[in-house]
Every structure is written in structure tokens, then in C-alpha cells.
């Protein structure tokens, strides 16, 4: 529901949907038109169709339990690398790194790649994976912190660097400081 949609909008649909389909089995058994009706008004109806097909696949192939392995997750309808990593870390507390726009921005700035090309993005992902804690629970906290940092401090337009907990390690801050010093007129 949250794909391309704000939390405030999803809130009015989430609880009624869960009341109507309280389990994966209940959703898998539902008629496609009923699922579409429960989604009515939320838009992007392909998501409802995917979720319905996902529930059916989970019941059929995984005994009604959403798999923990990211590769198995990505074989389910509508699940890409980001969703698979998010479910792995937030639902199952296992080691994975979901990179959304906010997280990508924090990593790019912290590692000094303001506008990474595709090779740069792959390098960023490798660096970020090396930072991930080994234990699943710690990974959960790390990912949540990274998302919160991107949403509240390292924001797109005006990052709030003076209040940022990683400012001492951040290349963006260092580069900005160097630029300021080199622009200063010599006495
Ligand atoms: S110090 Fe500034 S640019 Fe670096 S991660 Fe924090 S908010 Fe973002």
C-alpha cells in the first residue's frame, strides 16, 4: 500500500483491509473483484492484484508463511529488491539493506558521491553493505536509523548537518568546509 503513496493516505485503508482479510489464507481465498473493491480509492490497482496473487503463491508454495529468504521473496508477484530487503530486515530481523531515495541520499553524501552514476551506485551499495552490522537485530536498528536520518536530518534541500550524528565522518561536510576555506580571501 505504501508504494508511491503517503502514510497518511494509507492509514484509512490499512485497518479495514486487515479486518476484511485477517490472514494470508483469507486473502488468497478472496475473489479478485472483492480485493479490488477493498482497495477502491487507493489507486495503483496493480498493487492489489499483485498482493492477491502473492497471497495465493505464499499459500500454495510456502504453506501460508511469507518466506524469509530474499531470493524466494523476489519470486513472489510484485516483490522487487527493495521490498525483499525491507521484509527481510524489518519483519524477520535478518541482514539486508533496503535502499530507498532517502537512504541513497544519506549514503551518497556521507561517502562523497553527490550524484553517483550507475557504477557509483553499485560502489555505494558495496560500501553500505560493509557497514551493516552482522546481527539481524542490530541491522534492523541500523536500517531504521538510516531511514530516519534521511527523512528528518539529511533532507533533500537543506541538510541539517550541525545536528547530524554522523557529521564527523561525512565527506559532504568535509568537502563543503574545504570549499569555504579555499574561497576565503587571503589576508
Ligand atoms: S552531515 Fe549533513 S550531509 Fe552528512 S549525512 Fe549528516 S545531514 Fe547528511
Per-residue pLDDT tens digits for 121-166: 788 888 888 889 988 889 999 999 999 999 999 999 999 999 999 9
Cα dist from 122 to 118, 129, 130, 171, whole Å: 6, 11, 13, 18
The model's pLDDT over 77-87, given as tens digits with 9 standing for 90+, comes to: 999 999 999 99
Residue 103 CB burial class (10 angstroms; 0-12, 13-18, ≥19): buried
**pLDDT of 178 strictly over 90:** no
Residue 73 CB burial class (10 angstroms; 0-12, 13-18, ≥19): buried
State the pTM of this model.
0.84
Which ligand 1 atom is at minimum distance from the Cα of 172?
3
Tell me which of 110, 113, 151, 174 to substitute to probe ligand 1's pocket, judged by most ligand atoms within 8 Å of the beta carbon: 110
Q: Tell me what pLDDT residue 113 has.
A: 85
Specify whether the CB–CB gap between 47 and 3 falls below 8 A.
yes
79 lines ligand 1 (CB under 6 A): no
167 lines ligand 1 (CB under 6 A): yes
Q: Tell me what pLDDT residue 186 has.
A: 64
| CA triple 140-143-145, angle to 5 deg | 105
Give the cell for residue 61.
508454495
Amino acid at each position: 500500500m505504501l508504494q508511491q503513496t503517503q502514510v497518511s493516505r494509507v492509514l484509512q485503508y490499512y485497518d479495514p483491509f486487515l479486518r476484511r482479510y485477517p490472514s494470508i489464507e483469507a486473502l488468497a481465498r478472496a475473489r479478485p473483484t472483492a480485493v479490488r473493491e477493498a482497495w477502491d480509492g487507493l489507486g495503483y490497482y496493480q498493487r492489489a492484484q499483485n498482493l492477491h496473487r502473492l497471497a495465493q503463491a505464499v499459500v500454495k508454495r510456502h504453506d501460508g508463511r511469507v518466506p524469509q529468504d530474499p531470493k524466494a521473496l523476489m519470486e513472489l508477484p510484485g516483490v522487487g529488491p527493495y521490498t525483499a530487503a525491507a521484509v527481510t530486515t524489518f519483519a524477520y530481523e535478518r541482514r539486508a539493506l533496503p535502499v530507498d531515495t532517502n537512504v541513497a541520499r544519506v549514503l551518497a553524501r556521507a561517502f562523497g558521491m553527490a550524484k553517483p552514476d550507475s557504477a557509483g551506485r553499485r560502489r555505494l551499495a558495496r560500501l553500505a553493505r560493509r557497514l551493516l552490522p552482522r546481527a539481524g537485530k542490530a541491522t534492523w536498528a541500523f536500517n531504521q536509523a538510516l531511514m530516519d536520518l534521511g527523512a528528518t536530518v539529511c533532507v533533500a534541500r537543506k541538510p541539517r548537518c550541525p545536528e547530524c550524528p554522523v557529521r564527523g565522518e561525512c565527506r559532504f561536510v568535509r568537502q563543503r568546509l574545504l570549499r569555504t576555506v579555499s574561497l576565503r580571501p587571503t589576508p
